[in-house]
Structure 1
């Protein structure tokens, strides 16, 4: 049974987040939308952006989430380039939200429930700097909010180990390829989604139930 378990684990690892995705059009880069009037934008990275983007999109006040890359030093990166870990970019989710409905602080708290912020450069079967936990701030208030939440998470011992999330100033966001956008909802038959992403989203729903959109509170 142990060998069988390792066999299936290796298959999931091989499939990984976005491994082997091809197809004309699907590999075209998605557009980066401008925030609507009154909207604010937040950017977080916590492992594969398939589950992170889905989780954050289910929150009240969030209008859209775009999967992409940030935190590195390569212009216009592609998934293939980011996967080489030479760009220093991480897989991230850019969130467009109404601050009158959900605050940046609430989004940040949700971010820490949507992944394990205590594992350095790793989330589940995904390992590497492109899967690191990283939170971007756009002003001093957001930086203070992130640092305060990290202290709170550490003090409550919600996780056994301390938070290792990078807190860095936002510089630029690059949208990922079209096929990454909304991937969780359209590829439920993907073994990675059912075995890795779905359990994370279900755990998130349980933790953040009061702040979810009605259709996800069931």
Structure 2
């Protein structure tokens, strides 16, 4: 009976994971943090920002609901290999984390507010993952493209650490390159509302964020 119960619990945990093959390898960015950030050019007046905070299905849905955000792309960033894939990044050996590229109108929402969304939509003290997703590919990374952005992030991270009286897990790293994920990952939450992970992890995380920041939401959310 105990063995059967254990198998049932294990299966449930695997089901409610962004990827059941997730690894628990740790990863550090000591070398990366010394590199110069790459600044990306605006596209049709839209700035771009990059964040990693657990499963990109969840993070994409969160930022898509924010006013001033025009598009969010799921992908990979923060690693050391070229052309990462979902399968390779989820081994934990490429160094990449699941990340999002956020296209936003700076006349409607600021980079600072996007950082507030970032910290306010996750468990900021969870190391090497978010919720049921564990491993270096789910670690929290927040990317800066210039010194002004870095200072904004550092200030907000410090204030949050003082408020919670706890260390904040997110690593602050210079942006280098974003790799777009496979097509089936894009708008995953919208296209797969009945997926068990989406119903039990993504949507509750989205609703929790929306309740916390109603003033930042688009009118149709």
Q: Calculate the TM-score normalised by the size of structure 1.
A: 0.86
- Residue 38 of structure 2 corresponds to none
Deviation at 1:36, TM superposition (A): 2.7
User: Which digits, 9 at most, give the CA deviation of each residue in 1:104-139, with x for residues without a partner?
Assistant: 000001011121121110211111000001000000
Of 37, 40, 51, the residue aligned with 1:44 is 51
Alignment of 1:1-218 (within 5 A): 7=8, 10-14=11-15, 16-19=17-20, 35-157=42-164, 161-216=166-221
Match of 1:26 in 2: none
Shift of 1:12: 4.0
How far apart are the structure 2 equivalents of 1:9 and 1:62? Answer: 38
Q: Unpaired segments of 5 or more residues in structure 1?
A: 21-33
In structure 2, distance between residues paired with 1:5 and 1:191: 20
Which residue of 2 is the match for residue 29 of structure 1?
Answer: none
Q: Which whole-Å CA distance do the structure 2 matches of 1:6 and 1:147 have between them?
A: 43
Q: Give the TM-score normalised by the residue count of structure 2.
A: 0.85
Offset at 1:156?
2.0
Q: CA RMSD in A?
A: 2.1
SS in structure 1 of the partner of residue 220 of structure 2: helix
Alpha-carbon distance in 1 for matches of 2:7, 2:131: 14
